[in-house]
Amino acid sequence: MKINVIVAVAALLVVIGASFAAYSYEQLRRQDVLFDQNSIQLNGLRYSGYEVAVDLDGKFEPEVTGGVGSVGGGVDFYLVNDAAWNSWSTTPALRSALSTVHLNATAVSSQSIEGEFSFNPSVSTAYSAVFVNDDFPNANNSSVHASILLQYISLDYLFLMATGLVIAAIGFILLLVMIFRKIKHS
């Protein structure tokens, strides 16, 4: 095989591998919307709960982040691991201790800065996002909004980026060998 063909193939490997790695790097940081609700109304309910499932398959360095806010006051926010739900729902005095996240009504009703939170989940699990009416049994006319995200590094794109880097490295090494060979024969 001619040296020029080998050099062209090596250069093509470098370009393809680098392009592949760059694209994969751009796609590396991902986020999934776990929960996003506007205008949650309690209207005399003790609390209102919503399921939030966290699936960590294929995800590296996961972090759950979120924000909760309201127009009006008197609503606490809890993110409860479903394994603790029975104790949480029957023992109000332990609610904060049994919750992964607790934002009191003051933090939730702060409109200048939404009550924000983050934590690193260790396993795939289900949570309940619970909004508690501090005014129960009276109606609470607050309108609550909440957003919960799962941010992570995708293992698929990490693998693809590594593959692209290996392809580029092979092409680069092949180019170096051809250059040194040409210098040696000159």
Instruction: Give percent above pLDDT 70 in the chain.
Output: 95
Domain range list for the chain: 3-185
pLDDT at residue 50, rounded to an integer: 92
More confident residue, 3 or 67: 67
Strand 125-133 relative to strand 47-54: parallel, antiparallel, unpaired? antiparallel
Query: Is the pLDDT reported for residue 63 higher than 90?
Result: yes
**20 Cβ neighbours under 8 A, 6+ residues apart:** 160, 161, 163, 164, 167, 168
Q: Phi/psi of residue 58, each to 5°?
A: 75, 20
Residues 137-159: pLDDT tens digits? 777 888 888 999 999 988 787 78
Query: Is the pLDDT reported for residue 3 higher than 60?
Result: yes
Please give the average per-residue pLDDT across 160-171, as a whole number: 90
pLDDT at residue 166, rounded to an integer: 92
Q: What is the mean pLDDT of the chain?
A: 85
Instruction: Give dist(CA 163, CA 171) in Å, integer.
Output: 12
* pTM of the entire predicted model: 0.73
Instruction: Give dist(CA 64, CA 120) in Å, integer.
Output: 6
Residues 4-43: pLDDT tens digits? 788 888 888 888 999 988 888 887 788 999 999 988 888 8
Instruction: Give percent above pLDDT 90 in the chain.
Output: 22
Residues 70-119: pLDDT tens digits? 888 888 899 999 888 888 888 888 888 889 898 888 888 865 455 688 89
Q: What is the fold of 3-185?
A: Jelly Rolls (2.60.120)
Please give the average per-residue pLDDT across 56-72, as a whole number: 88
First CA to last CA across the chain, in angstroms? 19
Task: Using DSSP, state whether 2 is helix, strand or coil.
Answer: coil
